[in-house]
A = this chain, B = another copy of it.
Amino acid sequence: MTYIDTLGQQAKVASRQIAKLSTAAKNDLLNQVAKALVAESDYIITENAKDMANASENGISKIMQDRLLLTEDRIAGIAEGVRQVADLQDPIGQVVRGYTNLDGLKIVQKRVPMGVIAMIFESRPNVSIDAFSLAFKTNNAIILRGGRDAINSNKALVTVARKALKNAGITADAVQFVEDTSHEVAEELMVATKYVDLLIPRGGARLIQTVKEKAKVPVIETGVGNCHIYVDKYANLDMATQIVINAKTQRPSVCNAAESLVVHADIVEEFLPNLEKAILKIQSVEFRADERALKLMEKAVPASPEDFATEFLDYIMSVKVVDSLDEAINWINTYTTSHSEAIVTQDISRAEQFQDDVDAAAVYVNASTRFTDGFVFGLGAEIGISTQKMHARGPMGLEALTSTKFYINGQGQIRE
A residues in contact (CB < 8 Å) with B: 16, 19-20, 97, 99, 101, 103, 105, 107, 109, 114-115, 193, 197-198, 212-213, 216, 218, 220, 236, 239, 242-243, 245-247, 250, 351, 355-357, 359-368, 370-372, 376-378, 388-391, 393-394, 403-415
Contact = CB atoms under 8 A, between A and B. Distances in A.
Given A107-B378, A371-B408, A405-B361, A246 B391 contact: no
Contacts of A250: 414-415
Copies in the complex: 2
A367 B114 contact: no
A18 to B, nearest CB: 13
12 contacts: A19-B356, A99-B378, A103-B371, A220-B390, A361-B405, A362-B405, A365-B410, A366-B411, A367-B410, A371-B413, A377-B406, A394-B404
5 smallest beta-carbon distances between A and B, as pairs: A367-B410, A246-B414, A389-B403, A370-B415, A391-B391
Given A361-B405, A393-B405, 13 more contacts: A19-B357, A103-B376, A105-B371, A105-B376, A115-B359, A242-B414, A355-B407, A362-B406, A362-B408, A363-B406, A368-B415, A394-B405, A394-B406
A288 B408 CA distance: 28
Nearest to A375: B101
Chain A at the B interface: SS class: mixed
Contacts of A220: 390
A242 B412 contact: yes
Given A242-B412, A414-B250, A367 B105 contact: yes
